[in-house]
């Protein structure tokens, strides 16, 4: 039997994940347009990544004054971007974040199926429920849906989307010029969905897509997030700081699959890793110091305040502890991660924002290729991860160096592919194509 292999996603974000990346001399100086993203996608494909992945928010988050010091005002629609990148790549998967809270299931099911058709079976959907009132206010609401409510909408949304993707049988399309039949109506099903949140007649006006369904990705780690993931997700992205925490999450989530009649390998768990990489440890530490020095305290604090649930932390002493945080309606699991990290390591507010400004709570590694590969191998072989979502702190250089230095190291250890074997995202991840229900 061949050795198990690590899956890798390239989580791409403007000029990099580090809050201050855009100010680093190696960051691009101009607009973050198609040429920049095409180069990133092609580099990731050269590195044989399973997929590239884009996050998304539906608002300019934070105050205008603070946002003005970040790249948050330059975010392209990820689904459109990926549809464009499909034509300049051939094998790599294309995963877009899209919110279930502020979208319509018919339109979205159709868009993802379209991406799957246009890319030859490479589409993936990172389903999020959105987290902020600022997003709600762009869609006619004052406040975001309550946590439980938005997960209840998400549960129904995904069922509608899956039903729509199964509108046609795989061989429904005859395109028979002689008989005049384009498709066989016996092979078509109208959904007729009437639920608590959505009413959708269907069917979808598209053949079943190459992957049957786009790959379903989920990234919420709260209790309702895990319930949704156990039932529906095929990939889970998660922020984990420690091997023990990652392993606990992994065992918990995999253990929930059986009650849905699912096998453990039908869901791949991929924690985020932000590698601050150099040819040597010294070079990596030097780069990390350069990036960290560029963080303005008020920006670091604002990022922390926003992600930790919205309490304005600038009112507390920078060199004092993290205060008690009120329960969050936003990212519950991320708030828990910040509290846990601050208490475990006894961090001041300043130390905490410095720890999380690089990768928003994901694990940051500073080292040479061997150190980074050692970490990935340790988590993988301890049963804490099936793969990793790689979050370069600085782009494009951080992805270039990962492909040049870490990928060969993983290959040498027999942990990573030397060529793509299949053509779809499901092939890369080792996921089966869903039967039509
Ligand atoms: C790798 C990763 C990427 C994420 N990307 C997004 C995103 O693009 N947009 C978003 O609203 N939430 C994003 N999230 C947040 C989650 O989807 C989720 O909304 C958040 O963790 C809160 O959910 P919870 O309360 O279930 O933990 C991401 C989370 C992770 C781990």
Closest CA to 373 of 408, 334, 406: 406
Per-residue tokens: 55: 């996050």
Output the furthest CA–CA distance in the chain (Å, rounded): 79
Q: What are phi and psi of 271, to 5 degrees?
A: -65, 150
**Which of 356, 391, 406 finishes a domain?**
356
Same domain, 145 and 38: yes
Question: What gap in Å lies between CA 97 and CA 77, rounded to an integer?
Answer: 10
Q: Determine how β-strand 199-200 pairs with β-strand 181-183.
A: unpaired
How many angstroms separate the CA atoms of 128 and 154, rounded? Answer: 8
Q: How far is the CA of 182 from the centre of ligand 1 (A)?
A: 42
Residues 9 and 237: their CA atoms lie apart, in Å, by 10
- What is the distance in A from the centroid of ligand 1 to the CA of 331? 7
Which residue among 17, 55, 77, 125 is best mutated to probe the pocket of ligand 1, counting the most ligand atoms within 8 A of its Cβ?
55
Coil, helix or strand at residue 91: coil
Quick check: is 400 in a domain?
yes
- The pLDDT value recorded for residue 78 is 98
275 and 253, same structural domain? yes
Distance from C-alpha of 369 to C-alpha of 99, rounded to nearest angstrom: 35
CA 47 from centre of chain? 18
pLDDT of residue 1: 44
Residue among 148, 125, 327, 333 nearest 238 (CA): 333
Contact of 72 with 60, CB cutoff 8 Å: yes
CA distance 32 to 86: 18
Q: Which of 241, 243, 236, 242 is nearest to 221 (CA)?
A: 236
369 C-beta closer than 6 A to ligand 1: no
Domain for residue 172, yes or no?
Answer: no
Report the SS3 class of residue 165: helix
**pLDDT at position 2:** 66
Q: What is the pTM of this model?
A: 0.96
- 47, 92: one domain: yes
Same structural domain for residues 401 and 417?
yes
Same domain, 352 and 380: no
Q: What is the pLDDT of residues 48-96, one digit of tens each?
A: 999 999 999 999 988 888 889 999 999 999 999 999 999 999 999 999 9
Regarding whether 346 and 203 lie in a shared domain, the answer is no
Residues 142 and 231 occupy one common structural domain: yes
> Which position has the token pair 């390239």?
10
Distances (CA, A) of 435 to 166, 168, 213: 9, 12, 9
Query: Residue 397 maps to which CATH number?
Result: 3.20.20.30
Identify the residue whose C-alpha is closest to ligand 1 atom 30: 219
Q: Whose CA is nearest to atom 23 of ligand 1?
A: 220
What residues does 51 pair with on adjacent strands? 9, 93
Rounded distance between C-alpha atoms, residue 257 and residue 236, angstroms: 13
Task: Supply φ then ψ for residue 129, to 5 degrees.
Answer: -105, 5
Number of domains in the chain: 2
Nearest atom in ligand 1 to the alpha carbon of residue 226 is 26
User: How many angstroms does the Cα of residue 409 sit away from the middle of ligand 1?
Assistant: 30
Is 189 inside any structural domain?
no
Counting every residue, how long is the chain?
Answer: 437
Identify whether 203 is preceded by a cis peptide bond (ω within 30 of 0): yes
What DSSP string describes 376-430? HHHHHHTTS-SEEEE--SSTTHHHHHIIIIIHHHHHHTT-S-SS---SSHHHHHT
Non-local (6+) Cβ contacts of 82 within 8 A are 52, 54, 94, 95, 96, 115, 119, 123
Q: Please tell me the distance from the alpha carbon of residue 254 to that of residue 123, in angstroms, as a whole number.
A: 24
Atom number in ligand 1 closest to CA 332:
25
Domain assignment present for 313: yes
Residues 204 and 275 in one domain: yes
The response to whether residue 56 sits with its C-beta less than 6 Å from ligand 1 reads yes
List per-block mean pLDDT (blocks of 10 residues) for the chain, which spans 437 residues.
86 96 96 96 98 97 88 96 98 98 98 98 97 95 95 98 98 98 98 98 98 96 94 97 96 97 98 98 98 92 85 91 88 88 93 90 96 98 98 98 98 98 97 96
Choose one of 326, 356, 386: the last residue of a domain: 356
Give the count of alpha carbons within 13 A of 401, CB side only.
24
Residue 414 lies in a domain: yes
With respect to residue 187, please indicate whether it lies within any of the assigned structural domains.
Answer: no
Q: Quick check: is 290 in a domain?
A: no
Ligand 1 pocket check for 66: Cβ under 6 Å: no
Q: How many CB atoms lie within 10 A of CB 423?
A: 15
Mark whether 44 and 129 lie in a shared domain. Answer: yes
The DSSP result for 114-152, as a single string, is: HHHHHHTS-EEEEEE----HHHHTTTT-SSPPPHHHHHH
Give the domain-ending residue among 356, 381, 406. 356
Does residue 348 share a domain with residue 209? no
Same domain, 261 and 367: yes
Q: Tell me which residue range forms the domain holding 102.
A: 7-167+198-281+363-429
- Whether 287 is covered by a domain: the verdict is no
Same structural domain, 248 and 206: yes
């Amino acid at each position: 039997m061949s050795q198990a292999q690590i899956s890798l996603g390239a989580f791409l974000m403007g000029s990099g994940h580090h809050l201050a990346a855009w100010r680093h001399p190696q960051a691009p100086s101009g607009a973050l347009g198609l040429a920049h993203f095409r180069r990133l996608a092609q580099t990731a494909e050269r590195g044989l990544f399973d997929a590239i992945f884009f996050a998304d928010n539906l608002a300019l988050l934070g105050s205008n004054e603070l946002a003005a010091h970040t790249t948050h005002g330059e975010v392209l629609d990820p689904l459109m971007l990926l549809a464009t990148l499909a034509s300049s790549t051939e094998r790599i998967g294309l995963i877009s974040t899209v919110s279930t809270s502020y979208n319509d299931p018919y339109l979205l099911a159709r868009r993802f199926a379209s991406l799957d058709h246009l890319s030859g079976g490479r589409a993936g959907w990172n389903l999020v429920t959105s987290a902020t009132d600022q997003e709600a206010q762009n869609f006619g609401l004052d406040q975001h849906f309550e946590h439980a409510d938005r997960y209840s909408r998400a549960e129904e949304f995904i069922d509608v989307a899956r039903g729509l993707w199964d509108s046609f049988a795989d061989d429904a399309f005859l395109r028979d010029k002689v008989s005049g039949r384009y498709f066989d109506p016996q092979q078509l099903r109208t959904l007729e969905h009437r639920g608590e949140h959505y009413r959708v007649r269907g069917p979808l006006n598209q053949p079943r897509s190459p992957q049957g369904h786009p790959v379903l990705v989920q990234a919420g780690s709260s209790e309702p997030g895990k319930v949704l993931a156990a039932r529906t997700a095929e990939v889970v992205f998660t922020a984990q700081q420690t091997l023990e925490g990652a392993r606990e999450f992994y065992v918990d989530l995999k253990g929930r699959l059986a009650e849905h009649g699912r096998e453990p390998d039908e869901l791949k768990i991929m924690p985020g890793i932000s590698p601050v990489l150099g040819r040597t440890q010294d070079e990596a530490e030097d780069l990390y110091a350069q990036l960290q020095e560029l963080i303005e305290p008020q920006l670091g604090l604002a990022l922390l305040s926003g992600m930790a649930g919205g309490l304005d932390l600038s009112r507390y002493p920078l060199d004092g502890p993290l205060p008690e945080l009120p329960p969050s309606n936003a990212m519950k699991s991320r708030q828990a991660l910040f509290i846990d990290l601050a208490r475990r390591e006894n961090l001041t507010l300043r130390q905490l924002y410095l720890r999380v400004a690089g990768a928003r709570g994901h694990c940051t590694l500073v080292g040479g290729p061997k150190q980074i590969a050692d970490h990935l191998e340790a988590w993988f072989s301890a049963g804490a991860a099936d793969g990793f979502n790689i979050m370069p702190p600085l782009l494009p250089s951080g992805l270039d160096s990962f492909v040049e230095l870490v990928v060969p190291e993983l290959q040498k250890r027999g942990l990573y592919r030397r060529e793509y074997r299949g053509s779809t995202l499901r092939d890369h991840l080792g996921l089966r194509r869903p039967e039509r229900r």
